[in-house]
Structure 1
Amino acid sequence: MSEALWQRQLADGLAQMELALDAATQAKLLAFLALLNKWNRAYNLTAVRDPGQMVSRQLLDSLSILPFVSTDHLLDVGAGGGLPGIPLAIVRPDSRFTLLDSNSKKTRFLTQCVLELGLKNVEVIHGRAEQCQPDQPFQQISSRAFTALDNLVAWCGDLLANDGEFLAMKGQFPDDEVSALPGHWQVSQRQSLSVPGADGDRHLLIVRRVTEPQL
């Protein structure tokens, strides 16, 4: 897969998403993709092996939730190969992103990305969500291919501000997972995501605590 084709796929995809990014930002996204492709051969960072699908399924898919990121400090749990955290951090340099993963190989890769790409707004943490102790809870926590919704709220609920929200990225709408949510959590919004070049359904589920009725 030539770099020129990746460039064209990215430019075309961004145009379809009506997302205007300058040439330097696009170049940094492609530099991240090259790192991911290189390290994936040894570290098994992502199941996507076909270079022809990487722009769509890794970069554009990550950026599809950009309109819903409203916080200036987002936690990405189960960050894995840095999706969606690294692409979001590249296009939102004025916001902070904390990437959390319990797999040391994956956090080594993420740390290398931060160094090579000069991402001053990214912190990488190696550890389990249940053991993470941030200085203050997060307003938004993103999750992509990490775990089922009931596990997400159980493991990461203490990391989320009382009025915060999970941004859970899913493929087909997970009816079973929604039904299994504990009673004090609810899907406050469901959004179909359009990802240029990607087959199949993509959904964003925004999960919040149930607000107690006012007496």
Structure 2
Amino acid sequence: MDKVLVNQLARGCDALAVATDSSTQQRLLAYLELMIKWNRAYNLTAVRDPEQMVTKHLLDSLAIAPYLAGDDLIDVGTGGGLPGVPLSIVFPDRQFHLLDSNGKKTRFLFQVKTALGLDNMVVHQARVEAFDSETPFDAVLSRAFASLEDMVDDCRHLLASGGHFFAMKGAYPGEEIAAVEDRCHLEAVHSVTVPGLQEQRHLVDMTLR
């Protein structure tokens, strides 16, 4: 395993105050290796450089770890598994459901689950508005939804009473927050610093009214 990537990931996790041992870090990098391998055929990510993938995929996903609540969470529109796969590796005692409508991406995620032995990760192929779960979730996560309004409208049926929406955003999404204030309580907007990334990152935490 590339020592540069190992050191980069270890330093990044320390900076984020996300506790990871060497075994956990190896699994995180094994996930990246699978993504690089499958990306040639499945077009999972436009980021091709492994060091950038550590920053923009692994550390970006793990930056929200200190703010998450709940034991049963769903990552909607997960794509190649971000942030759901890194979070499921770091939090083996929590259950993560990864939902995407793209069959190629869910096939990749099934391979990740099998190869890394992620028993706490469940993969679903469906459109979010059509997906129904017997048990609602403590939290709905999203890294890729177009707007907070879309997230609330399409995912509210998945949220347990008192559950949280956690939306990963770039710049502070003031207009998006205003658009859902009649339906949601804004619990917090966390300004998130991703080691090695100069771009703005925010995590919006909301509950339903």
Q: Same-fold call, TM > 0.5?
A: yes
Distance in 1 (CA, whole Å) between partners of 2:5 and 2:51 is 8
> In the alignment, what sits opposite 1:5?
4
The Cα shift of 1:118 comes to: 0.7
> In the alignment, what sits opposite 2:120?
121
Distance in 2 (CA, whole Å) between partners of 1:49 and 1:170 is 22
The Cα shift of 1:203 comes to: 0.3
The Cα shift of 1:70 comes to: 2.2
* Conservation of the 8 A alpha-carbon contact between 1:191 and 1:205: yes
The Cα shift of 1:182 comes to: 5.8
Distance in 2 (CA, whole Å) between partners of 1:129 and 1:207 is 18
> In the alignment, what sits opposite 2:162?
163
Alignment of structure 1 residues 32-111 onto 2, 5 Å? 32-111=31-110
* Conservation of the 8 A alpha-carbon contact between 1:169 and 1:204: yes
Distance in 1 (CA, whole Å) between partners of 2:163 and 2:16 is 26
* Identity fraction in percent: 49
Total equivalences in the alignment? 209
Q: Write out per-residue CA displacement over residues 12-33 of structure 1, whole angstroms, 9 at most, x where no aligned residue.
A: 1112122231111110000001
Q: Which amino acid aligns with 2:36?
A: N
> In the alignment, what sits opposite 1:112?
111
Q: Which amino acid aligns with 1:178?
A: I
The farther-off stretch of 197-206 and 62-71 is: 62-71
Please identify runs of 4+ aligned residues in structure 1 that moved more than 4 A.
none
TM-score with structure 2 length normalisation? 0.95
The farther-off stretch of 196-205 and 32-41 is: 32-41
Instruction: Look up the SS of the partner of 1:41 in the other structure.
Output: helix
Q: Which amino acid aligns with 1:157?
A: R
Distance in 2 (CA, whole Å) between partners of 1:161 and 1:137 is 5
Q: Which amino acid aligns with 1:189?
A: A
* Conservation of the 8 A alpha-carbon contact between 1:103 and 1:126: yes
Distance in 2 (CA, whole Å) between partners of 1:51 and 1:25 is 18
> In the alignment, what sits opposite 1:213?
none
Q: Which amino acid aligns with 1:123?
A: V
TM-score with structure 1 length normalisation? 0.93
> In the alignment, what sits opposite 2:21?
22
Question: Which runs of 5 or more structure 1 residues have no equivalent in the other structure?
Answer: 211-215
The farther-off stretch of 18-27 and 72-81 is: 18-27
* Conservation of the 8 A alpha-carbon contact between 1:150 and 1:182: no
Instruction: Look up the SS of the partner of 1:155 in the other structure.
Output: helix
Q: Which amino acid aligns with 2:64?
A: I
* Conservation of the 8 A alpha-carbon contact between 1:110 and 1:124: yes
> In the alignment, what sits opposite 1:179?
178
Distance in 2 (CA, whole Å) between partners of 1:122 and 1:36 is 17
The Cα shift of 1:147 comes to: 2.3
RMSD across aligned C-alpha pairs, in angstroms?
1.3
Distance in 2 (CA, whole Å) between partners of 1:167 and 1:110 is 21
Instruction: Look up the SS of the partner of 1:98 in the other structure.
Output: strand
The farther-off stretch of 12-21 and 112-121 is: 12-21
Distance in 2 (CA, whole Å) between partners of 1:145 and 1:114 is 21
* Conservation of the 8 A alpha-carbon contact between 1:56 and 1:196: yes
Distance in 1 (CA, whole Å) between partners of 2:46 and 2:157 is 30
Distance in 2 (CA, whole Å) between partners of 1:79 and 1:131 is 16
* Conservation of the 8 A alpha-carbon contact between 2:69 and 2:164: no
Distance in 1 (CA, whole Å) between partners of 2:13 and 2:181 is 37
